Amino acid sequence: MLAPSKSHIGVRSRSELITEVLLNFVTFYTVQFTIPENCWNLREKFMKNKKILVTGGAGYIGSHVVRQLGQGNESVITLDNLCTGFEAAVTAGDLVVGDTGDALLLEKIFSENEIDTVMHFAAHTIVPESVADPLKYYRNNTASSRTLLEAAARHGVKNIVFSSTAAVYGIPDGGKASEDSATQPINPYGTSKLMTEWMLRDLSAAGGPNYVALRYFNVAGCDPSGTIGQSTPKATLLVKVACEAATGSRAGVSIYGTDYETPDGTGLRDYIHVEDLASAHLDALAYLRNGGESTILNCGYGHGFSVREVLSAVEKANGEKLSISEQPRRAGDPPELIAVANRVREVLGWTPKFNDLDTIVRTSLEWERKIANRDPSAYWAA
């Protein structure tokens, strides 16, 4: 009698062992004999039973990834507490409403499903709020991630794709950050994400899942088909805020700092379209499933636009001037934050398709107009 084998750091479940035996049976007879069609179907069934758990999949970025996974015929389970996400944003697979830090719920999900990959988006993301309420961020972003990783490792999950952030760099020298730049976060949000990266690193080194941590720069834009978009309540991202001002949902938009040492005096940021960011997650999934080693990758285009350039693009797309006020600099805002993003292309073969400010703004504005007009095909916070 064979002794039970181990997967990573947890003992494999009975269903995993049965699956392996059946797959080995089919593989053996594939070599030795002519296989009836129903055996091929059996093998395909087991191969397709593997599922992807997406935490925070009802949120802005997660929902775009879920949509692309669905288009790729992946089996998806979304776990989201809907505190900032929307049920209508989940366009593929199943939705489980609950918290990523709920250990009992995670045990139920992993026990009832054959999950080979976790894509982890669930997090609080508002920098000023993290400064005012740091423990909220360490509880939800860090402690809940630990609970998730423990459950994933126990159930033999092979791959994790993690939603990290350029905030781990703080204020990099020269305004540009590569994966080798020092990680010196200047707010609890960035620190909470960096701590999760550390847990992933140490767990993987101990025999746990391989992972790809994607460090996002400034995410913007919406699904070009208009099926889903960014409806995050009390959003702080510039493109979203400017489009809200353009459609009358806000009275205006503020520029914080006009005296930076940049061409027009306002801050420079690397804006990446959410569709391109979503595709990077699918590329990371393929990379890990093909045996790729754990790695950390920047996600940006490698060039930036100033605050004034973004606002001008919104005015151009909307055909009207915005109400703009100039305010003093905010503490901790770097003059420039641009990704050095060669590695993600080299490692994952990632090829962005929406590297254009006008496209980013147009897709954002189209979605914002749907919200402003209360289009029934859109969704928004009550």
Q: Which two tokens stand for residue 38?
A: 């129903």
Q: Which two tokens stand for residue 153?
A: 């490792």
Read off φ and ψ for residue 143, nearest 5 degrees: -65, -40
Residue closest to 222 by CA, chosen among 362, 358, 350, 90: 362
Environment class of 71 (CB within 10 Å of its CB; exposed 0-12, middle 13-18, buried 19+): exposed
Cβ atoms of residues 183 and 195 within 8 Å: no
Environment class of 343 (CB within 10 Å of its CB; exposed 0-12, middle 13-18, buried 19+): middle
Q: Verify whether residue 189 is a known catalytic residue.
A: yes
Residue type, 190: G
Q: Which of 60, 137, 169, 189 is catalytic?
A: 189
Cβ atoms of residues 125 and 62 within 8 Å: no
Whole-angstrom Cα distance, residue 50 to residue 142?
A: 27
For 5, 19, 334, the CA distances from 75, given in Å and listed in that order, are 26, 17, 41
Cβ atoms of residues 256 and 329 within 8 Å: yes
Catalytic residues: 189
